[in-house]
Chains A and B, each alone.
Chain A
Amino acid sequence: MIRVENLSKSFGDLSVLNNITEEIKEGERVVIIGPSGGGKSTFLRCLNLLEKPTSGRIWVEDEEITSKKCNINAVRCKMGMVFQHFNLFPHKTALGNLTLAPRHTGRMEKRKAEEFGMELLERVGLKDKAYSYPAQLSGGQKQRVAIARSLAMKPHIMLFDEPTSALDPEMVGEVLDVMRGLADEGMTMVVVTHEMSFARDVGSRILFMCDGIIAEQGVPGKFFTNPENPRTQQFLNSIIQT
């Protein structure tokens, strides 16, 4: 579904991703963990070209998005992205956040988009907040709206960049529940997170990223009980302690 070949990215002199090759298959739930600054966000953002790779090639559903001919807007319609800081549109209601893209990319007309938007809000448990503005929502509610906003485009793939890191602890659960629901429905997901229990329960594969490479990967069972790379062991220990 996503194929990455020899992906490298540097910001000026700073090399952030070093020659990464990886493939993500349909229905996989890939969880990326690793120390801060290791390149997780940059990797994720390269997958929908929010960052332009310095070199390497990326295919999404057999279309090369790093090719000049690619219409990236059309590809992004198929890939939802959820950000750490929600990035809801503050001048739109919750429902307005959901309907904006479907309407203005010509996918749905207003009524259809609103119907579908309400359906999604109900799914994330926020039907009663349809006409609230982001400023009136709690962090957990904002993130659930943000997830619904991505789903409004009926994506085939969802990318999550630390979706619960900016939340108060008591709100983490409600967001993870929504993500679990998505996983149960078979959504292809790539999730950067520090929530290890989520990684263990929901992830079908764990990637450990540090210093711009995927230093280790495996299925959750083996990865968490028996990591091979000393860096992984060190990282897992440090997380368990805190």
Chain B
Amino acid sequence: MIPLILSSIREVPPLGWEEGLLWDIWNNLLRGDRPFMLLRGLGISARIAVFGAMIGWVIGFSVALIRISKSKILALLRAITTVYISVIRGVPLLVQLMIWWFVIVGSADADRLFVCIICFGVSSGAYVSEVFRAGILSVDKGQTEAGRSVGLSAFKTMTLIVFPQAVKNALPALVNDFTILFKDTSVVGFIGMVDMLRAANHITAFTFNSFIPLITVAIVYWSVVTPLIALMSRLERRLRKSDSR
């Protein structure tokens, strides 16, 4: 029954929606394949943001450790990370993405989604590394000393004692970075990915209406990001409370 109604809605507007704004909404958002175009686009954005963030955390944490270490052996690596962070911060994400696709990959047969995930991961790694670095430095030096004084190795002190506290300190900023990453996925249309924004453009090409598709895209972004920001504020508040040692 319900599938029947749904599939009929895709072909004819519901009763009373035959004209005006309601018809426009039906025509842009419900008609034919259009709802699925937007949903598929959202799925693309979500995948790029989530997998990109995971790569970003791995890169970010490693880079943070390299930058914090004082070892002479890592001096070259440290220099490389400095260049990496400066390049990522100094070049717009869209330009980075186009360079990845047209210059580094340079083949139209490559997997666009994969390239996007790599590009977003590498980019977010630079920002995340600074977040992790601040998080690690915010852990009191006495924690490391306590860990070492009971006989734990430097590595175990880092992973068991410093890292958990650093992540907790960094969590609000990590959530914030993730929302930025998610919003930035709206540029992937430039290398031919059909994300939500590009899907909306495609709909506009058929309906000659840009208002409804674009407002819809804006509302979807807003409703994903806002709860995350609320979560971030809560984490921040809890952090401040537990800090009163």
A90 close to B (CB within 8 Å):
yes
Residue of B nearest to A97 (CB): B146
With the chains together, A223 CA to B127 CA distance in Å?
A: 59
How long is the Cα–Cα vector from A100 to B168 in the complex, in angstroms?
19
Tell me the minimal C-beta distance from B143 to chain A in angstroms: 6
Residue of B nearest to A149 (CB): B150
A87 touches B245 (CB 8 A): no
Contact present for B151 and A73 (CB under 8 Å): yes
Residue of B nearest to A134 (CB): B245
Mark each residue of chain B from 144 to 174: 1 if its CB lies under 8 Å from any CB of chain A, else 0: 0111111111001000110011001000000
Query: Can you spell out 20 A-B residue pairs with CB atoms less than 8 angstroms apart?
Result: A73-B148, A76-B151, A80-B150, A81-B145, A83-B145, A83-B146, A87-B140, A87-B143, A89-B146, A89-B147, A90-B165, A91-B165, A100-B152, A100-B160, A104-B152, A105-B152, A134-B245, A135-B242, A149-B150, A152-B150
- Cβ of B20 < 8 Å from any Cβ of A? no
Q: Which residues of B contact A85 (CB under 8 A)?
A: 142
Inter-chain CA distance A150–B156, complex, in Å, is 17
A153 at the interface (CB under 8 A from B): yes
* Cα A77 to Cα B160 with chains together (Å): 17
A228 to B145, CA, bound (A): 37
Instruction: Indicate which residue in B145, B152, B245 contacts A50 across the interface (CB closer than 8 Å).
Output: B145
- B223 contacts partner chain A, Cβ-Cβ < 8 Å: no
Q: Report the tally of A-B residue pairs with Cβ distances under 8 A.
A: 68
Instruction: Check B244 for interface membership: any CB of A closer than 8 A.
Output: yes
In the bound complex, how far is the Cα of B144 from the Cα of A83, in angstroms? 12
- Taking the complex as formed, is A74 at the interface, i.e. its CB lies under 8 A from any CB of chain B? yes
B interface residue numbers (CB < 8 A to A): 140, 142-143, 145-153, 156, 160-161, 164-165, 168, 242, 244-245
- Contact A74 B245, CB 8 Å, known A87-B143, A88-B146: no
| A105–B142 CB distance below 8 A | no
- Whether the Cβ atoms of B151 and A89 lie closer than 8 Å is no
Q: How far is the CB of A43 from chain B (nearest CB, A)?
A: 15
In the complex, the chain A residue whose C-beta lies closest to that of B164 is A91
Q: What CA separation (Å) do A77 and B151 show in the bound complex? A: 5
Proximity bits, A13-34, B CB within 8 Å = 1, else 0: 0000000000000000000000
